[in-house]
Every structure is written in C-alpha cells, then in structure tokens.
C-alpha cells in the first residue's frame, strides 16, 4: 500500500515492507504491513477497537521495533538503529495521545516546553519565547500557568497539541484527538491539524469517527485484524 | 522551567533511603575509624619497638663499663644507658614487695643496658657483637609485639571488610530505591522518552536524586560517627595503658572519614545512573 508523494529525495518519510509486530511471545497484532507515508501527506487511520491502531502508532512513534519486516523512518533502517540514536529521531515526531499524557505537577506552559527542554538544544529564554507564541496560537494564553487537573478536556488537548508541535516535527501522530472533546472543539482541533499540514507537517490521525475522513477527504488507512485492508484510500 | 519533570522528591520509595544510608554511613565511619586508629597504634608500636632493645647480662664477671663502651661505638646505636641496680631491683617489686626491705645484694640480678638505635637501624651489629657471649641476651619487643600486631592487623582487616559491606549495602539500597522510583515514574519516563529525551537525560534526574538522598544520609551518619570515634579512642587512651597511646586515626584518617558523605554520594550517584541506564536500555 503506497501513499502518494515523496520528499525531494524520492524517499518517503516512513516506509514499511512486510512489517509484523508481536508483544513478547504472543500472536502478531500487526501483520504484513506495506505502507509508505510521503512528506507533507495527511492520513486518517481507522479500524475497530483491537484492530491494531495503537500498535501501528507505537511503531510510527518509535516506541517499538517491528518484530519482522523492514521499516525505514526519515531514511533510517529501524532494524539496525542503535538505541542511543533513537531519541534524535523521536524529536522529529510529535505525538498527541488520546489521554493527553500531561504531567499534572507542571503548568500548561511547562508541559508545552518539555520537548525543547529534553532536547537541550536552546537556552531557556528562547524556549519561553517559543512556548508563549505557541500557547497563544492554541488559544490558551489565559491558562498558561494552570495545571492540567484544572483544565477542561479541550484545553488539555490543545496543550497536548502544542507540546507535540513545539519541536516543529516532520511527522505528527494523533490518537483520537477529537474523542474527548465536543463537536465544536473537535472541529477547531481539526482546523489546527489542517493548518499544520499546510505548513508541511505529515499527519496521521487515528480515529473511530468514520465521518472525519469523509469530511476532510484525506486518504484512509484502515486496519482490520492487524492488516491494512483494501478499503484504505490511496492504494497503489 | 526549573521544575523537574520527574517528581522524585515525592516518591514514597525514597522516603526511608536517607535514614538507611545514614545508619550504614555511621557503621562505615566507625569501621574506618577503627581501621585507621589501629593502623596508627601499630605504627606507633613498630616505631617504639624497632629502635629500643635491652641487653641483659647475667651475673658474673663481665666488665659492664667496657661492654657499654663497645656497644656505644657501634654505628647503629644512638644512645645507651646502663640501668642502676636499684632501678632493676625496683622492677621486681611486684613479686618481692618493698625492695627497700630486701638486701638486693643477695639477689642474682642481671645488669640491664638500655640501647636506643638510630632510626631505621637494625640489631645485626649488636647481635654480631654478642654472638659468642652466652651471658649476654638481647631482649627486643619484637617477640611479644608480633602476635599483637598480627591481631591488630586482623582487626583492621575486619574493620575494612565491614566498611566495604556498608558501602556495598548503600549501593544495594540505591539500586532498589532507584528501581522502585523508576517503576513509580514509569509513565512519565515513557513520555519523556517519547518526546525525545535521551536515556542519559533521564538518568541524570535519578542520579541527582540519588546524590541528594545519599549526601543527606552520609552527613547524618558520618557526623555522629566522627563523634563516636573521637570519644571512644580518647576513652581508650585514658585507660593509661602505654600500648593504647597511639590509638587515634592519623590526620589523613580523620580527613578520609570526614570525606565519607562525599564518597557515599558519589557511589549512590554512580549506582543510580548505572541502574537507570541498564533498565532503560533493556527496552528500545
């Protein structure tokens, strides 16, 4: 299954060939995946509960190595990738989790700043500047100092999105980003993703909401029993 | 952005670590104090014994002044003294009672010649001089001091082993506390890795935490340890036994014990780092 378009070098951002994933000695939860994500593309990832969406996302955000098959991310073979080099690749991937995964003892602003802080690549004044801009961009200037337990679901989601994009990732993964917010907030969040995509970020959104792909018209990756099915849009 | 991502200070598994480290540091400090004090004492014994010998001349017709003159001319000898007969007789007081009441002329007392050797000199010249004179015996402290020095050496070894066991236990406590903290903070650690934190970045947070706990525990244990060593060695010296005069750590020994909190903190820092890196590298 090849998605249209590649980056300038002709190499897709992510390429999978015959990839499988199993947890421990259990059965394969993902099987025979062939997938290419071109730079700047936008995909919806759908499938029933247990179809393997979270497992595929965990491969894409480099939480796991494939159990078999070939996987290249940003031009690097994951099979041979030494563990110490993985963090550098992860910094080019932004992730928005369904449960937000914000740190409750940090303010919204501090949560957003985390990726830049752990990358240790710029001074704290510059980080503060970027965080302020981003907090304004997601419309949370008033809540910058608030801690996550005091924020609403939509506000938490926007903090999580700001954190995911602060390092200007080339690939943004979002797991059910509209699942915990009302429809209006869901639309606002989707407009944020579309805006990011227009700025060049490759986006994969996992969702149960089958109306989303129809409304936005982006290609669909549909998982069924751990396999990408023929329903997926953009098939080669 | 000064707040740490990992709230390790509130981690319940670390609550008792400083006090366990303090108890182990106290044990380590006392063991080191004992080892250093014994080392000073035995060195003192060695110095005193090696430069002082006694020539015991059996009653007879030996020309004592001539012998004294001969011995004094030896290269190795720094000072010589023929002990007066009254002083020799006084040494027998524990057995004879008041020697003033005894006619010591009737006693077959030996002549005692106290010989001080130059530093580093040995008794070979002296032994050669008296080799063919059976009425003269050379008494040195080596014969009775050697078993005591062996015993003190064994006690020092035991003290070092105890100190090493205490440091090993501190490492184990650090390993368990770090593993527990890592389990308790697993979600945050996973998140930090997902957003690009290198293992070394995460390990640094744990090693700083380990350093703080161990430094506090090390100070809390070492300070009372120093006090115990000071009073215990002083009390031993006050017993009045000449053998215990040197029973106190040397200046270097005191400084080494005082540095224990830093050593403990470094050990805990290193242990925490290695533990975290090992656990993190077990997963991709």
pLDDT tens per residue across span B3-25 = 688 888 888 878 899 999 999 99
Q: Identify the top-confidence range among B129-133, B148-152, B200-204.
A: B200-204
Q: ipTM surpassing 0.90, yes or no?
A: no
State the smallest CA–CA distance between residue B275 and chain A in angstroms. 16
pLDDT attached to residue B175: 95
* Average pLDDT value for chain A: 88
Single residue among B134, B158, B184 that ends a domain in this structure? B134
Q: What is the pLDDT of residue A67?
A: 93
Q: For Cα atoms B168, B170, B175, give the angle at the middle one, nearest 5 degrees.
A: 95
Classify strands A68-73 and A14-22 as parallel, antiparallel or unpaired.
antiparallel
pLDDT of residue B86: 82
* Structure confidence at residue A5 (pLDDT): 41
How many other CB atoms sit within 10 Å of the CB of residue A104?
11
CA distance A231 to chain B (A): 30
Q: Name the band, by pLDDT with cuts 50, 70 and 90, for residue A3.
A: very low
CB contact A129 to B (< 8 Å): no
> Scanning every residue of chain B, which has its alpha carbon at the shortest distance from the alpha carbon of A78?
B284
Residue of A nearest to B1 (CA): A110
B42 and B154 inside one domain? yes
- Whether pLDDT at A2 is above 60: no
* Residues B116 and B255 reside in one and the same domain: no
- Closest Cα of chain A to B282: distance in Å? 10
Asked if B164 and B246 sit in the same domain, the reply is yes
Same domain flag for B36 and B102: no
Q: Are residues B67 and B43 in the same domain?
A: no
Q: Which long-range contacts (C-beta less than 8 Å, at least 24 apart) are formed by A215-218? A: A216/A42, A216/A44, A216/A190, A218/A42, A218/A43, A218/A44
Is position B103 within any domain? yes
Same domain, B194 and B263: yes
Q: With 90 as the cut, is the pLDDT of residue A82 above it? A: no
Q: A144 near A163, Cβ under 8 Å?
A: no
Check pLDDT > 90 for residue B120.
no
- Smallest CA-to-CA distance from B252 within B6, B37, B80 is with B37
Q: Point out the least confidently predicted range of A27-41, B178-192, B227-241.
A: B227-241
Distance of CA A110 to the CA centre of its chain: 20
Specify whether the CB–CB gap between B133 and B77 falls below 8 A.
no
**Domain of B198, in residue numbers:** 8-47+145-281
| Residue A39 domain flag | no
Q: Does A58 reach chain B within 8 Å, measured CB to CB?
A: no
Q: Please count the structural domains in chain B.
A: 2
- E-assigned strand segments in chain B: 52-57, 77-82, 111-117, 136-140
Selected for mutation to probe chain B from A60, A79, A83, A113 (highest B CB count within 10 Å) is: A83
Same domain assignment for residues B69 and B207: no
pLDDT score, position B240: 66
Tell me the chain B residues in contact with residue A60 when contact means C-beta distances shorter than 8 Å.
none
What's the structural domain count of chain A?
1
CB A160 within 8 A of CB A44: no
- Of the three residues B68, B102, B134, the one that is the final residue of a domain is B134
Range(s) of the domain holding residue A115 = 102-168
Give me the pLDDT at residue A7, please. 47
């Amino acid at each position: 299954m090849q998605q249209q378009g590649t980056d300038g070098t002709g190499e897709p951002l992510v390429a999978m060939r015959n990839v499988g994933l199993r947890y421990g000695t259990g059965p394969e939860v993902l099987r025979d995946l062939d997938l290419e994500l071109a730079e700047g593309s936008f995909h919806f990832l759908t499938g029933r509960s247990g179809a393997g969406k979270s497992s595929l996302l965990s491969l894409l955000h480099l939480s796991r190595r494939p159990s078999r098959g070939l996987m290249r991310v940003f031009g690097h073979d994951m099979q041979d990738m030494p563990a110490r080099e993985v963090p550098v690749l992860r910094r080019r991937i932004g992730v928005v989790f369904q449960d937000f995964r914000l740190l409750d003892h940090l303010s919204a602003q501090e949560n957003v700043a985390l990726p830049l802080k752990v990358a240790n690549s710029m001074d704290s004044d510059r980080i503060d500047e970027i965080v302020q801009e981003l907090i304004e961009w997601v419309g949370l200037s008033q809540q910058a100092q608030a801690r996550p337990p005091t924020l609403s679901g939509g506000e938490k989601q926007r903090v999580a999105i700001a954190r995911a994009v602060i390092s200007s990732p080339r690939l943004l993964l979002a797991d059910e980003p509209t699942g915990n917010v009302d429809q209006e907030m869901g639309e606002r969040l989707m407009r944020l993703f579309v805006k990011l995509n227009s700025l060049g970020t490759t986006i994969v959104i996992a969702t149960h909401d089958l109306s989303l792909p129809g409304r936005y018209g982006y290609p669909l990756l549909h998982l069924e029993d751990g396999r990408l099915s023929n329903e997926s849009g953009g098939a080669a | 952005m000064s707040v740490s991502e990992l709230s390790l200070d509130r981690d319940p598994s670390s609550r008792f670590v400083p006090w366990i480290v303090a108890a182990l540091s106290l044990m380590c400090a006392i063991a080191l104090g004992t080892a250093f004090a014994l080392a000073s004492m035995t060195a003192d014994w060695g110095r005193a014994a090696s430069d002082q010998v006694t020539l015991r001349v059996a009653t007879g017709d030996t020309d004592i002044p001539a012998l004294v003159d001969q011995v004094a001319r030896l290269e190795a000898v720094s000072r010589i003294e023929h002990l007066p007969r009254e002083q020799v007789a006084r040494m027998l007081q524990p057995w004879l009672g008041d020697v003033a009441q005894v006619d010591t002329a009737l006693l077959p007392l030996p002549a005692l010649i106290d010989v001080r050797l130059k530093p580093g000199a040995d008794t070979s010249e002296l032994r050669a001089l008296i080799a063919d004179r059976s009425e003269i015996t050379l008494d040195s402290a080596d014969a009775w001091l050697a078993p005591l020095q062996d015993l003190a050496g064994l006690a020092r070894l035991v003290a070092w082993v105890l100190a090493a066991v205490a440091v090993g236990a501190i490492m184990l406590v650090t390993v368990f506390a770090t593993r527990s903290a890592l389990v308790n903070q697993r979600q945050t650690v996973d998140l930090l890795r997902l957003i690009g934190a290198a293992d070394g970045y995460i390990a640094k947070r744990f090693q700083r935490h380990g350093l703080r706990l161990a430094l506090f525990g090390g100070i809390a244990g070492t300070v009372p340890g120093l006090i115990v060593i000071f009073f215990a060695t002083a009390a031993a010296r006050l017993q009045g036994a000449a053998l215990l005069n040197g029973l106190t750590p040397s200046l270097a020994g005191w400084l080494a014990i005082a540095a224990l909190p830093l050593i403990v903190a470094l050990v805990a820092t290193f242990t925490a780092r290695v533990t975290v890196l090992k656990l993190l590298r077990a997963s991709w």
